[in-house]
Amino acid sequence: MESRQRVLVINPGSTSTKVAIYESYTPLFTTKIEHSLTELQSLLTVEDQYDFRKQVVLKTLDEEGINLSKLNAVVGRGGLVRPIPSGTYTINEMLLEDLKNGYSGWHASNYGGIIAYEIAYQLNIPSFIVDPVVVDEMDAIARVSGLQGIERKSIFHALNQKATARLAAKALGRAYEKLNLIIVHMGGGITVGVHKEGRVIDVNDGLYGEGPFSPERAGTLPTGAVIDLCFSEGMTREKALSLMAGSGGLVSYLGTQDGHVIERKIEMGNEEAAFYYKSMAYQIAKEVGAASAVLCGQVDGIVLTGGLAYSQHLISLLTTRLEWISDILVYPGEDEMLALAKGAIRVINGKETPKHYPSGKLVGELEITGGK
């Protein structure tokens, strides 16, 4: 019988920090701490920012009467670090520095690992990150872009895709490492991962890169038209990137990224809304079809997840186009906090061996000591 482990989970967003305490897989406490934009803008350095968030987290836990001495580990959302294989990673000095310096770019999730490390260090317990967005298990052939000097990148919803893959494997009664799955995360961005026997061997870059358009991202665009856009009068790099991720997709066509608003328009007979929503489903289905070719048609299941998977209308549109390929499993939403907690608990219960950053090699059992 597994011992009951208690972990603190920290997941920072752009203007908020989610905090939870899990005992085994049961949440004992969850909250979302909102930060005012004015407050955050006054913090000029990375150190100021993560120290501010850490103090707010500790204050919140203290006010709730939570005894930190009962914690077995602290886990933070992994940020934009070096490309690494999937897994749970102990936070070492190099990982800490890459989080602070934004090795692969900057996102608020970088603060998660830093805060987790600092709290764990004081308590002399382990600290971890789990499946950051830069998880990279792509085959060499999948990296080829078509232009020397440019490689396709693996940037996707790794945390939710991996967690959902385990749920699907359980439902199918087989080990994840023995399955071929296509997993579609549908949120503000959309990523379609080809999971072959436990590895994501191909996936679209769901941020600025490629794939289907989404509620707020443009996805793959005609190259010549993009070049013309970038050289148009008044265009800057920052504005162009904003158009690709933030102002693209359904926002550019319908003025909103809110799926509920769009579906209400469709229900009221808005033909434009219906057309572009159907177009998004069309592009998602095309990406899944391409993913099935990667697996030579040997697909054990297509998994639909993320916030848009709550939409029965979208699921129906996708099912019509995809059910001939394989069975479809639907897991709406994403529970990042539980996924992070599970990663840490699997390690401290000995169900999974943590990995060493950045090599991805397994850490020896004796090395799983405090945050130091």
CATH of the domain at 80: 3.30.420.40
Same domain? For 264 and 191 the reply is yes
| CA–CA dist 261, 32 (Å, integer) | 24
* 279 and 240 fall within a common domain: yes
Quick one: pLDDT at residue 320? 98
CA distances from 252 to 187, 217, 344 (A): 16, 9, 40
Domain annotation covers residue 95? yes
Same domain, 193 and 132: no
Are residue 261 and residue 183 in the same domain, yes or no? yes
Domain shared by 165 and 276, yes or no: yes
Alpha-carbon gap, residue 72 to 337, rounded angstroms: 16
Beta-carbon neighbour count of residue 259 at 10 Å?
A: 20
Same domain, 171 and 314: yes
pLDDT tens digits, one per residue of 232-291: 999 999 999 999 988 999 999 999 999 999 999 999 999 999 999 999 999 999 999 999
Q: Phi then psi for 200, rounded to 5 degrees?
A: -90, 95
What are the per-10-residue average pLDDT scores of the chain (372 residues)? Answer: 84 90 95 86 83 95 96 95 96 96 87 96 97 95 97 93 96 98 96 98 90 96 96 95 93 94 96 98 98 98 97 98 98 94 95 94 60 42
Residue 315: the pLDDT is 98
Q: Maximum CA pair distance of the chain?
A: 66
Which residues, 6 or more positions from 78, have their beta carbon under 8 angstroms from its beta carbon?
Answer: 89, 109, 112, 113, 129, 130, 131, 132, 133, 134, 159
Residue 14 in tokens: 């752009």
User: Domain check: are 194 and 77 in the same one?
Assistant: no
Displacement of CA 50 from its chain's centroid (Å): 21
Kindly state whether residue 1 falls inside one of the protein's structural domains.
no
Q: Which helix (H) or strand (E) holds 333?
A: none
C-alpha span between 140 and 142 (Å, rounded): 5
Cα 325 from Cα 312, distance rounded (Å): 20
Instruction: Residue 294: give the domain boundaries.
Output: 158-332
Record the tokens describing residue 274, joined without a space: 């219906």
Interval 192-220: pLDDT, tens:
999 999 999 999 998 887 999 999 999 99
Q: What is the CB neighbour count within 10 angstroms for residue 81?
A: 27
Position 366 scores a pLDDT of 39
Total structural domains in the chain? 2
What secondary structure letter does DSSP report for 34?
E
Tell me, yes or no, whether 122 and 170 share the same domain: no
Would you say how long the chain is, in residues? 372
* Same-domain pairing of 235 and 351: no
Distance of CA 25 to the CA centre of its chain: 20
User: By the 8 A CB rule, do 95 and 107 touch?
Assistant: no
Question: What does the block give as tokens for 302?
Answer: 């297509």
CA–CA distance, 107 with 109 (Å, rounded to integer): 5
Locate all alpha helices (DSSP H) within 195-270, ordered by sequence.
223-230, 237-244, 249-254, 259-267
The pTM assigned to this predicted structure is 0.89
- Confidence (pLDDT) at 7: 98
**Cα(93)–Cα(80) distance, integer angstroms:** 16
Domain for residue 311, yes or no? yes
Question: Do 167 and 88 reside in the same domain of the chain?
Answer: no
Bin 51: left if φ > 0, else alpha if -120 < ψ < 50, else beta: alpha
Q: Which two tokens stand for residue 204?
A: 């679209």
How many other C-beta atoms can be found within 10 angstroms of the C-beta atom of residue 352?
16
Same domain (yes/no): 224, 79: no
Instruction: Assess if residue 143 is contained within a domain.
Output: no
Question: Is residue 11 a part of any domain in this protein?
Answer: yes
Q: Is residue 71 part of a domain?
A: yes
Q: Copy the structure tokens of residue 227.
A: 């070049």
Q: Is 25 within the bounds of a domain? A: yes
Q: Are residues 231 and 167 in the same domain?
A: yes
Residue 197 lies in a domain: yes
